[in-house]
Chain A
Amino acid sequence: MVLNTFQVDALTELINIGVGRAAGVLNEMLMAHVSLQVPSIRLITRSNIKQELEGLFGKSASIVRMGFRGPFSGIASLIFPPDSAANLIGLLIGDLNMEADMDAIKIGTLTEVGNIVLNGVMGSLANILMKHVEYSIPIYQDSNVHNFITPYDTTEQPIILLARTRFRIETQLIEGDIILVFEVGSFESLISELNSSLDITQ
C-alpha cells in the first residue's frame, strides 16, 4: 500500500497535533519548555521493521506499549533510544530525591512520559475520527529490538507506521529522539476513516 501525499500530510498533521498536546502536558509537568519537532512519518512493512529500528538506535531500547481497539486496532509504541531515555530521566529526577532505585525511577518515569506522548497522539487520531477507541493500560518494557514486533499472523503484508520526532528541553539543553510505532492490524480502515473524516478524495 502506498500513501498519497494528501494522506501522508493528513497523518503527519494528526500526529503532530497529538505530539503538540503531549509537549504541552510535559511542559506543565516539568516546568520547562519542551518542544517536539514536527514528526516525519513513514509506512514500512513488517519485514523491514527490524532493520529500520536497528538503524535508528542500535539493538536495545526502552519501550512503552499501549494496545487499542475500535474502528482501527493495533498497538502503539513509543521507543526511547538509550541516550534519550537517560537524558529525560536526568531531567526528571533532577528535583526528586535520589534515594530510590535507578531502575524503578527509569521504569516509572519513562512509562509516564510514554503514556503522555502516546495519549497525545492516540487522542488526536481518535478525536478527529470521532470514533470511540478502547485502550489497554500502557506497559513498559526494556527490550531488544528483535523481540519488539509482535508477530501478527492474520495479515500477509502488515504495515507499520513509523513516526520519528525530536524533543528538546530548551533551558536544559537536553534533546533526544523518540519514535512512535503503530502496528495497525487493519491499516486500510485507518486510512479510509481518515479519508472520510477529512474528506480527502484520491
Chain B
Amino acid sequence: MCSETFKVLDNVPMGIFVLQDDLTVMFWNRCIENWTNIPREQIVGTNIGEHYSHLREPRYLSRIKPIFEGGPPTIFSAQLHKHIIPSWGLNKQLRIQHTTVTAMPATEGNGFFALFVIADVSDLTIRIQEYKTLRDQALEEIKMRKEAEMKLKEFNQNLEAIVVQEIEKRRRHEELLIQQSKMAAMGEMIGAIAHQWRTPLTGLGLLFDDIKDAGEYGELDQFYLNRVVEESGQLIGFMSKTIDDFRNFYRTNKEKVRFNAKEAVEETLSLFSAQLKNNNIAVQILCAHNTNDIFCVYGYPNEFKQVILNVVNNSRDAIIERVEKSEFSNGLGQINIEISEQDDRINVSIKDNGGGIKADILNRVFEPYFTTKDAQKGTGIGLYMSKIIIENNMDGKLYAKNIDDGCVFVIELNRCKD
C-alpha cells in the first residue's frame, strides 16, 4: 500500500501522514510512529477516524475536505488545536503540535491526497516561555533602572534648584552688604569731612571776627581786604578739595590697575589724619625704603584704601574704647603702619595698642555682621568686605593676630615686577 514516493518523508523529523479522500491512511512516517507507538503496518489502509475519532467531527472534516479537491492549505495551529494526534513527549507531557495540511496530486487517477505535516512545537513553546520570562526580567530591570535614573534626575533638579536659590540668596545678601557698607562709608565720610573742615572753618570764623574788628577800628583798607580774600580763598579751596578727595576715595574702581601701595596708604592717612589727631591718636608710617617704586601692586586702589581705612578705623575705635574705660597705662593711642617687601610680596601691617581682640572671637572678626560695638558705631561689615577685597579681588591675604597691648592686621599682596 505504501508508495515508494513517500519513503523520503521518513527522514523528516516531523510527524507526517497522508490521507486519501475517504480518510484512509496512505502513509505514516517513522517520526509519527515513534510519537504514537502505532506501527506503519498497522495503520496504513485503515480509516484514521478509527484511531482518532475527532478527525471525523465537522470542525476538522470541513477543513480537510477541500484539500482533496486541490484546495488551499489548511492550518491547525498549536494554539487552537494543541494535540491533533495526541502523543506524549519525553517529559511525560502531550506534545504541542502545529499542523499544516496541503494537497498533493494523487499517485494514480485524479484527485488529491491530504499531506499532514505536524511540527512538535512543545520545545518552541517552552523556549518562548523561557524567553518571555527572561524578557520580562530584563524589562523589569530596565524599568527599575529607569525609575532610579528618574529619581536621581529629580534629585539633581531639586539640588540644582536649591543651589540656584542659595546662590540667589547669597547674591542678595552680598548686595545688601555692599549697600550697607556704602552707607557706613558715607557716614564715615561725613564724619571725616567734619573733622577735616574743623580747622579751616575755625580759620574762616577767626577771619570774619577779624574783619568785624578791623571795621570797628577803621583798619579795613584795600590791602587788608586783599589779604582776607586771599586767606579765606585758601581755606575754602582746601575745604572743597577735601570733598573732591573723599569723592575720589569712595569711588570704586572698575578695572584693575597698577598702583603704589605705599602712596595709597599715605593718601588715606592724609585724608583722615585730622580725625585721628583730634582723638589724640598718633599715626606713623614705617618704611625702610626711600624709593616708593618697589611697592607697586596690581588691583583696585580705591578699594585698597578703603581696606586701610577700615582697619585703621577699627584700631581707632579700640583705642577710643580703651581710653573711655581709662585702661591706658602709658597715655597715648598709637597706630603704626609698617610697609615692607619680601621677594615678590608686599606686607602692610597695621599695629595698634588698643588692647587686642579677645581670643575667643579672634576667628570671628571677619564674619559678616560680627561686631562687638553698639548699633550706631558698628555694623560688622568692615572686616568682611576688606577680606573679600584683598583675598577675592586682589589675590592677597588679610589676617589678624594679637600682640603685646594690641593687635596687628596684616595685608599681603603680590608685588608687580616691572
A201 to chain B, nearest CB (A): 29
With A24-B62, A29-B59 given, is the CB distance from A119 to B79 under 8 Å? no
Contacting residues, chain A, for B129 (C-beta < 8 A)? 99-101
Q: Determine whether A105 belongs to the interface, using a CB cutoff of 8 Å to chain B.
A: yes
Contact mask for chain B residues 78-109; partner A; CB cutoff 8 A; 1 contact, 0 none: 11100000000000000000101010000000
Known: A93-B79, A104-B79, A112-B77. A28 touches B72 (CB 8 A): no
Say if the beta carbon of A194 comes within 8 Å of chain B: no
Q: Which residues of B contact A123 (CB under 8 A)?
A: 66, 71-72
A8 within 8 Å of B by Cβ?
A: no
Distance to closest chain A CB from B112 (angstroms): 9
Is residue A25 contacting chain B, with contact meaning CB distance below 8 A? yes
**CB contact between A104 and one of B70, B74, B76, B125 (< 8 Å): that residue:** B125
- B79 closest partner in A (C-beta): A108
Contact indicator per residue, chain B 49-72, by CB within 8 Å of chain A (1) or not (0): 000000000110011001000111
Assess whether B368 is interfacial by the CB under 8 Å rule: no
Known: A28-B59, A109-B80. Contact between A137 and B102, CB under 8 A? yes
- Select which of B63, B70, B78 is within 8 A of A116 by beta carbon: B63
A66 to B102, CA, bound (A): 13
B45 in the interface, Cβ–Cβ < 8 Å? no
Complex Cα gap A100–B73 (Å): 25
Answer yes or no: A68 CB below 8 A from chain B CBs: yes
Cβ of A108 and Cβ of B62 under 8 Å apart?
Answer: no
Cα–Cα, bound, A115→B76 (Å):
9
- Give complex CA distance A122, B72 in Å: 7
Q: Are A126 and B128 in contact (CB under 8 A)?
A: no
Give, as a whole number of angstroms, the nearest-CB distance from B299 to chain A. 69
| A136 neighbours in B (Cβ, 8 Å) | 73
Residues of A within 8 A of B76 (CB): 112
- In the complex, whether B256 has a CB less than 8 A from a CB of chain A is no
The answer on a CB contact under 8 Å between B80 and A108 is yes
Q: For A115, give its contact among B70, B75, B79, B132 (CB under 8 Å).
A: B75
| B80 near A112: Cβ-Cβ < 8 Å | yes
A104 to B128, Cβ gap below 8 A? yes
Which residues in A have their C-beta under 8 angstroms from that of B74?
Answer: 115, 119
Would you give the shortest CB distance from B87 to chain A, in whole angstroms?
A: 19
A118 partner residues in chain B, CB cutoff 8 A: 72
Evaluate contact between B80 and A119: CB separation under 8 angstroms: no
Contact of B71 among A25, A101, A126, A137 (CB under 8 A): A126
**Cα of A38 to Cα of B71 in the assembled complex, Å:** 23
B149 to chain A, nearest CB (A): 28
Q: Which of A24, A25, A109, A137 contacts B77 (CB 8 A)?
A: A109
A residues within 8 A CB of B62? 24-25, 28
Please report the C-alpha to C-alpha distance between residue A4 and residue B308 in the assembled complex, in whole angstroms.
107
Question: Which A120-171 residues sit within 8 Å CB-CB of chain B?
Answer: 122-123, 126, 132-133, 135-138
Residues of A within 8 A of B125 (CB): 100-101, 104
A123 and B62 CA atoms in complex are apart in Å by 13
- Whether B79 lies near A109 (C-beta < 8 A) is yes
Roughly how many angstroms separate A137 CA and B115 CA in the complex, as a whole number?
12
Contact A115 B98, beta carbon cutoff 8 Å: no
Q: List B contacts of A25 (CB < 8 A).
A: 59, 62-63
Give me 24 A-to-B residue pairs in the complex whose CB atoms sit less than 8 angstroms apart, sorted by A's number. A25-B59, A28-B58, A28-B59, A68-B72, A92-B80, A100-B129, A101-B129, A101-B132, A104-B128, A109-B77, A112-B75, A112-B76, A112-B79, A112-B80, A115-B73, A115-B74, A119-B66, A122-B71, A122-B72, A123-B71, A135-B73, A137-B100, A137-B102, A138-B75
A binding-site residues for B, Cβ under 8 Å: 24-25, 28-29, 66, 68, 92-93, 96, 99-101, 103-105, 108-109, 111-112, 115-116, 118-119, 122-123, 126, 132-133, 135-138
B-to-A contact residues, CB < 8 Å:
58-59, 62-63, 66, 70-80, 98, 100, 102, 125, 128-129, 132
Given A96-B80, A101-B128, A119-B63, 20 additional A-B pairs, CB 8 A: A28-B58, A92-B80, A99-B129, A100-B129, A103-B128, A104-B78, A104-B125, A104-B128, A105-B79, A111-B75, A112-B77, A115-B72, A119-B71, A122-B72, A135-B102, A136-B73, A137-B73, A138-B72, A138-B73, A138-B75
